[in-house]
Amino acid sequence: MITMTEIARLTGVSQPTVSRVLNGNQAVNPEIRERVLACAREHNFQPNVIARSLAGSRTMLFGLVFTDISNSFFADLEKYLEQEAKKSGYSVILFNSDYDWNREKECLDVMRRYRVDGLILVPVEENSERFQQEMKKLDIPAVALTRKTEGMDCVYVDHIEAGGQVARHLQQLGCEDYIFAGTSRDGKYEGFLKTLKDAGTGCEERLTKIETKDPEKLRKILRQHFEEHAGRTGIFAYNDRRAIQIHGILQELGIRMPERASLVGFDNTYTCELLYPGLSSVSQPNQEMAAKAVQCLLRKIEHPEEREIMDEPMKARLIVRGSSAGA
Amino acid sequence: MITMTEIARLTGVSQPTVSRVLNGNQAVNPEIRERVLACAREHNFQPNVIARSLAGSRTMLFGLVFTDISNSFFADLEKYLEQEAKKSGYSVILFNSDYDWNREKECLDVMRRYRVDGLILVPVEENSERFQQEMKKLDIPAVALTRKTEGMDCVYVDHIEAGGQVARHLQQLGCEDYIFAGTSRDGKYEGFLKTLKDAGTGCEERLTKIETKDPEKLRKILRQHFEEHAGRTGIFAYNDRRAIQIHGILQELGIRMPERASLVGFDNTYTCELLYPGLSSVSQPNQEMAAKAVQCLLRKIEHPEEREIMDEPMKARLIVRGSSAGA
DNA sequence: TTGTAGGCGTTATCAC
DNA sequence: GTGATAACGCCTACAA
């Protein structure tokens, strides 16, 4: 692959002149300019970003660390992040932590080795001591994505508020019982529970939390629930994957949506609208989140002195479909 | 971030000695070794891969170009590719071409700029003239993934054979009519059609091809089809996404699977087993494909002289679930 | 407007 | 064993 020095030799000028032409910075003799450009085109010159990174001090790389890119929600985010980064000439180097803290730590080290200019990550355990420690000694601008993270810039939707939206929606439908399927680590459950409580009609006592994702167990629990409870049950799953699983089980058991079971998922992945009945789901503003994260990073790179932390939760939006439609 | 030169200064040795210690290559005085290692640990030294790349001639980067990572199938592949690359110390830099040739071309240029050691891509138009041209002048070892690509190493499953498997399966179920939903660009349709023809019972005349993915049109076509055809219809969708869409429409129309409609998708994404009835789908050996692609690349990097092209199609496997279950 | 010189952080190749 | 020294390809002064 041809280098600037080589072009310089071929066109009989100095290498910095070639650099000036190719970067279009300063004024150069039009004649020389043409000669150099022609030569560069002819040999399909591509600047060596590696060398440029070493000389300058930007690698034009963002590091992305996801927990699991095979989750459509994250894959979607990745696409937007890449798009947004490209607008500023950045490329991305990608890692999956697989929800494993040790891997995440390894990823961070690799990022350091590549001297990425910025880091966008979905932390595995955003509020643990060891993570905070690691972030403190990380000398790269970083943004936490989808999780509220103490002491660092973060872009996320308010899960507590979102959980509340779902609760209100299900209450309005006249649900008598409630099920939450998933873990309570990210605030959805908290918000869901709180809103049920606040309604004051004691419906929080009619809330069951199901943590298992084992299909057999899940089926058994649901069957039993609907045998014992005649009224309408609102089901809130902490992500679409779980919601789709429940959707399938309800179909199998012949429990009608939305009449007997009103189901709501989270992330509004593309499958939601393909199912029948369509799966209601909480939509996160993926594109805006991606843009915000990248812009935050860019700002920190441009102005390293500004140390104020960005932490304004964004708002999720409930998309109602057939699985929890009203009358 | 601390450098070798800095460590050298702190420990009173020369920079090359620090390099020797940190890379564990050659013998060094144990005393010095300890001193250097201690200093490196203390400052959490991370070798500057950028500088190393420039000096040596490996960037330890693989470039990945997908058409659309938000397709679960590709996201899944990405994860395996990353895993496999990591085993050999490689990291990946990722791009989406969005099924757009111009973007793909841009990606390739960026790859060149980063001097990636190898390239794994899902080509947008693997057999077009311009793509072939581009590949010819690409001076980076490259492997085409999921698509048979003339004149270049490629890792893919035999779509024609896979289409045949589906045809035989649906025939065995006793289908009287057939629908293929999707494009015919990758051989699935070809194989499907060919096998139907070979059976000699004239069933290829009872094959309808639906290209639209517009939900309204699709619904209308399917409704009409089942109004006019009383027997069992075998439906083969060119990917799971389309299959899931059809699954939903059939549910909505109250057309029973597998009795009236026997549905088969492609890619065996995780959603298949969550639906009810479970969605039959053709499974590609993702992990093996990823491993094979990476290993092919590594071999080409190690032995640039070997020029034989790898092109042995792998075999897909049909996973039968409720949507096309037999009696 | 253009060329010279130095440096970015490594690796590799020499002598010592 | 260890330390100079020269790359790698580019950028950024500074000098002409």
Render pLDDT for A311-324 as a digit per residue (tens, 0 to 9): 999 999 999 999 99
Closest nucleotide over all strands to B26 (CA to C1'): D1
Do B113 and A48 contact (CB within 8 A), yes or no? yes
CB of A134 within 8 Å of a chain B CB? The answer is: no
Cβ neighbours of B244 in A, within 8 Å:
271, 274-275
pLDDT of B15 strictly over 80: yes
| Nearest-by-CA chain A residue for B216 | A274
CB of B76 within 8 Å of a chain A CB? The answer is: yes
CB of A99 within 8 Å of a chain B CB? The answer is: no
Q: Which residue is nearest to nucleotide D6 (CA to C1')?
A: B55
If you average pLDDT over every residue of chain B, what do you get? 95
Do B291 and B308 contact (CB within 8 A), yes or no? no
Please calculate the CA angle A25-A26-A29 and round it to the nearest 5 degrees: 125
The per-residue pLDDT for range B139-183, each reduced to its tens digit, is 899 999 999 999 999 999 999 999 999 999 999 999 999 999 999
- Domain B4-46, CATH among 1.10.10.10, 3.30.390.10, 1.10.260.40, 2.60.120.640: 1.10.260.40
pLDDT of A201 strictly over 90: no
Q: Which nucleotides of C are covered by protein (CB under 7 A)?
A: 1-13
Report the pLDDT value the prediction gives residue A26, as an integer from 0 to 100: 78
If you average pLDDT over every residue of chain A, what do you get? 95
Nearest residue to A217 (alpha-carbon basis) of A243, A246, A247: A246
Closest nucleotide over all strands to A49 (CA to C1'): D10
Interchain contact, B244 vs A69, CB within 8 Å:
no
Size (chain A), residues:
327
Q: Which residues 6+ apart lie within 8 Å of A259 measured at CB?
A: A232
Report the pLDDT value the prediction gives residue B307, as an integer from 0 to 100: 80
Spanning CA of A214 to C1' of C13, the rounded length in angstroms is 61
User: B204: helix, coil or strand?
Assistant: helix
Q: Where are the domains of chain A?
A: 4-46, 61-158+286-316, 159-283
Same fold, A4-46 and A159-283: no
Report the pLDDT value the prediction gives residue B203, as an integer from 0 to 100: 75
**Fold of the CATH domain A61-158+286-316:** Rossmann fold (3.40.50)
Give the Cα separation of B154 and B132 in Å (integer): 13
Say which residue the tokens 């050298």 belong to: B8
CB of A14 within 8 Å of a chain B CB? The answer is: no
Tell me the CATH number for domain B159-283: 3.40.50.2300
User: B140: helix, coil or strand?
Assistant: coil
Give how far Cα B234 sits from Cα of A157, B175, B176, B209, B323, Å.
43, 6, 8, 12, 10
pLDDT of A57 strictly over 90: no
pLDDT of B200 strictly over 80: no
Q: Where does residue A174 fall: left (phi above 0), alpha (psi -120 to 50 degrees), or beta otherwise? A: left
A39-43, A224-228, B206-210, B307-311: least confidently modelled range: B307-311
Contacts 24+ apart (CB under 8 A), A203-210: A203/A171, A203/A175, A203/A176, A203/A178, A206/A176, A206/A177, A206/A178, A207/A177, A207/A178, A207/A179, A207/A180, A208/A177, A208/A178, A208/A179, A208/A180, A209/A179, A209/A180, A209/A181, A209/A184, A210/A179, A210/A180, A210/A181, A210/A182
Q: Encode burial over B114-138: b for 16+ CB neighbours within 10 A, e otherwise.
A: bbbbbbbbbbbebeeeebbebbeeb
Do B191 and B161 contact (CB within 8 A), yes or no? yes
Do B318 and B268 contact (CB within 8 A), yes or no? no
Report the pLDDT value the prediction gives residue A203, as an integer from 0 to 100: 75
Spanning CA of B156 to C1' of C10, the rounded length in angstroms is 39
Q: In the predicted model, what is the mean pLDDT of residues A197-212?
A: 87
Q: In the predicted model, what is the mean pLDDT of residues B41-67?
A: 95
Nearest residue to A65 (alpha-carbon basis) of A96, A34, A20: A96
Do A241 and A271 contact (CB within 8 A), yes or no? no
Give the Cα separation of A86 and B242 in Å (integer): 30
Nearest residue to A138 (alpha-carbon basis) of A155, A148, A123: A123
Give the Cα separation of B149 and A98 in Å (integer): 32
The per-residue pLDDT for range B16-31, each reduced to its tens digit, is 999 999 998 778 999 9
| Sheet hosting strand B61-66, strand order edge to edge | A154-155, A142-145, A118-121, A61-66, A91-96, B91-96, B61-66, B118-121, B142-145, B154-155
Please check whether strand D approaches the CB of A243 to within 7 Å: no
Do B236 and B192 contact (CB within 8 A), yes or no? yes
Interchain contact, B1 vs A112, CB within 8 Å:
yes
Q: How far is CA A120 from the centre of its chain?
A: 9
Q: Which residues 6+ apart lie within 8 Å of B176 measured at CB?
A: B203, B206, B229, B231, B232, B233
pLDDT of A304 strictly over 90: no
CB of B248 within 8 Å of a chain A CB? The answer is: yes
